């Protein structure tokens, strides 16, 4: 058995909770491994020191008082959307909305199309031309057209 396995089982070994096979494997490992043996001795010493403290018994009405305080401090959830509080309902709505937006983007990206491309009224190149600053030639032509009218 490896050290990490023995250290996980060490408390159960000391309490006698292991079956015979695991207990024998731990005993064999502890005989051969100084580090795990020191860990076992440190745990035994700690448990013996804890045993020196007197045990404290709660008062007779402790449990009843404790549960009464819990009942008094319990806050009832506020009713909101379809009997749910507002925070989970809002979180659910936003989650569904984000999922829909993400799905829509994914569909458009995989198709390689959008309403502005192929089949739409405005192509991407035409759309980019709408936002170009006018050249001086276009401004001159517009002035001439106005004057002619």
Asked, for residue 111, whether it belongs to a domain, the answer is: no
Q: What is the pLDDT of residue 140?
A: 62
In a domain, 129, yes or no: no
- For residue 128, give both structure tokens: 């980019």
- 12 occurs within a structural domain: yes
Using DSSP's 3-state secondary structure scheme, residue 90 falls into helix
Q: Which residues of the chain have pLDDT under 50?
A: 120-122
CA–CA gap between residue 114 and residue 105 (Å, rounded): 10
Instruction: Give backbone dihedrals phi and psi of 84, rounded to 5 degrees, phi first.
Output: -100, 155
The answer as to whether 17 is a domain residue is yes
- Helical residues (DSSP H) of 33-115, grouped into ranges: 34-50, 62-73, 86-111
Answer yes or no: is 33 within a domain: yes
User: Does residue 36 form part of some domain?
Assistant: yes
The pLDDT assigned to 49 comes to: 85
Is residue 132 in a domain? no
Domain around 26: 3-50
71-84: b or e for each residue (b if 16 or more CB lie within 10 Å)? eeeeeeeeeeeeee
Instruction: Say what percent of the chain tops pLDDT 70.
Output: 65
| Number of domains composing the chain | 1
Q: Within a domain: residue 149?
A: no
């Amino acid at each position: 058995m490896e050290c990490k396995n023995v250290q996980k089982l060490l408390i159960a070994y000391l309490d006698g909770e292991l079956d015979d096979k695991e207990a024998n494997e731990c005993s064999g490992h502890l005989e051969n491994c100084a580090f795990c043996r020191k860990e076992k001795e440190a745990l035994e010493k700690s448990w013996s020191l804890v045993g020196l403290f007197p045990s404290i018994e709660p008062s007779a009405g402790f449990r009843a008082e404790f549960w009464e305080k819990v009942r008094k401090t319990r806050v009832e959830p506020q009713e909101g959307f379809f009997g749910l509080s507002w925070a989970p309902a809002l979180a659910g709505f936003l989650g569904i909305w984000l999922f829909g937006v993400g799905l829509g983007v994914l569909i458009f990206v995989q198709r390689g199309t959008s309403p502005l491309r192929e089949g739409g009224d405005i192509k991407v190149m035409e759309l980019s031309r709408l936002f170009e600053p006018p050249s001086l030639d276009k401004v001159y032509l517009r002035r001439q057209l106005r004057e002619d009218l």
